[in-house]
Amino acid sequence: MLTGKNILVGITGAIAAYKVCELIRLFKKNNANVKVVVTPNALNFVTKTTLESLSQNPINIEQFDIKEYKPEHIALTDETDIFVIAPASANTIAKMTFGICDNLLTSTFCAYKKQVVIAPCMNTNMWENPAVQENIEILKKRGIKVVEPETGFLACGINGKGRLAEVETIYNKVKDCLVPEQILKGKKVVITAGGTKENIDAVRYIGNYSSGKMGIALADNAYKLGAEVILISTVDADKKYKVINVQTAQEMYEAVKQEFENAYTLIMAAAVSDYRVKNKSEQKIKKDGNSLIIELIENPDILQEMSKIKRDNQVVVGFCAESQNLLEFAKQKIAKKGCDFICANDISKKDIGFSSNDNELYIINKELDVYHIEKTDKQSAALKILENIYGKCK
């Protein structure tokens, strides 16, 4: 079930650390590759030799044990698909909340951009402490998945909440993150990606800076969720699902119109040119010392046109890239276009703008409710968008 998945297991200094040996064994049994990072105190409860034997990989302990050109905590973030911290002590949870990087585990967490799952374990009074509860809520809002502790007999000799969740419960949460529920099975989802190009002559065009990364990430994740995906893209993409390559806004409009008829959802992530050249030249235009005047005419508004013809059982999602007044303009756009959702992102921020690998978005529905996706990689953002649209946020 987890074949090809790379899982990073983090272990902190809590009495239940020994139980994580069974979790590692379960991951390995299901063909996952497991790497382990521990806090120094974790080794008071479980040995390095045991963890190396179970994971079949060296154990990462020291902050500056640099074996390659990359610092160890950066290498671990690049090489794994998910970070599971179990048990997560109150001390480590506090450090995670406030970005304290005083050991290899917390430094790795701070640099980690993919999904993180934590399974807290501590004394009942510690778990119920307002500071701990506030930290847990902050981490949840940041997208961290929390497998809450269970109630039972604790090592301190009392009955209460704080015992590490059952290993199978933690395993199932990780599995759900890596192998999402097929919520779109049997549904056709049409997604557009990239920036359209409008020819001026045989060699020049009007275009934009869109890389298509967000649209392709949405298509990848819709496919993982079981959808029949049709990607209509201006950039090449070698995928298992169907890809229709187009260049101009008119070509995209024709392809979308044809595929939307029997689609469940249309997601217009492409940056479509508002105008095209009225009289494009089939030959290269030569310089003659004079000004060149190009007359532009409006392209069809694909999002608005599809919103007009959509049936009650169809969902239309638009994107809104703005450099100012983001939410104000996005709310105006959803009212004007008539779509069901608008995903708005601020292109003035260089770390989440065009061509970046990360994104931060606001999803707005017809009732103008706003759901914020904090800065994350585009694959993770795409899954959060789909989960929000289909009401399956976990």
The tens digit of pLDDT for each residue in 329-344 reads 999 999 999 999 999 9
> Which candidate, 251, 270, 309, places its Cα nearest to that of 191?
270
Burial zone of 268 (CB within 10 Å; 0-12 exposed, 13-18 middle, 19+ buried): buried
Look at 118 and 346; give whichever has higher pLDDT.
118
Q: What is the pLDDT of residue 73?
A: 57
Cβ(103)–Cβ(366) below 8 Å: no
Q: What is the pLDDT of residue 76?
A: 80
* For the ranges 87-96, 143-152, 316-325, 365-374, the one whose mean pLDDT is highest: 87-96
**Among the ranges given (17-21, 70-74, 279-283), the one the predictor scored with the smallest mean pLDDT:** 70-74
Q: What CATH class does 6-178 carry?
A: alpha beta
pLDDT band at 323 (very low <50, low <70, confident <90, very high): confident
Distance in angstroms (rounded) separating the CA atoms of residues 310 and 261 = 8
Distance in angstroms (rounded) separating the CA atoms of residues 168 and 26 = 8
| Active centre residues (catalytic) | 156
**Contacts for 63-71: CB closer than 8 Å, 24+ residues apart:** 63/103, 63/104, 63/107, 65/104
Q: What is the pTM of this model?
A: 0.68
Mean pLDDT of 129-144: 95
Share of the chain above pLDDT 90, in %: 77
Distance in angstroms (rounded) separating the CA atoms of residues 244 and 225 = 20
Are the folds of 6-178 and 188-389 the same? yes
Domain ranges of the chain: 6-178, 188-389
**Among the ranges given (82-96, 153-167, 240-254, 373-387), the one the predictor scored with the smallest mean pLDDT:** 153-167
| pLDDT > 70? residue 114 | yes
| pLDDT > 80? residue 288 | yes
Cβ(74)–Cβ(109) below 8 Å: no
Q: What is the pLDDT of residue 72?
A: 54
Mean pLDDT of 307-334: 94
217 φ, ψ (degrees, to nearest 5): -60, -40
pLDDT band at 160 (very low <50, low <70, confident <90, very high): confident
Q: What is the pLDDT of residue 393?
A: 36
Q: What is the pLDDT of residue 348?
A: 83
| pLDDT > 50? residue 69 | no
> Which candidate, 340, 384, 381, places its Cα nearest to that of 357?
381
Mean pLDDT of 363-386: 91
Distance in angstroms (rounded) separating the CA atoms of residues 365 and 385 = 12
Mean pLDDT of 12-38: 95
Distance in angstroms (rounded) separating the CA atoms of residues 150 and 154 = 10
Provide CATH code, domain 188-389.
3.40.50.10300
Model pLDDT for residues 199-225, shown as the tens digit of each residue: 999 999 999 999 999 999 999 999 999
| pLDDT > 80? residue 354 | no
Residue for token digits 């690998």? 357
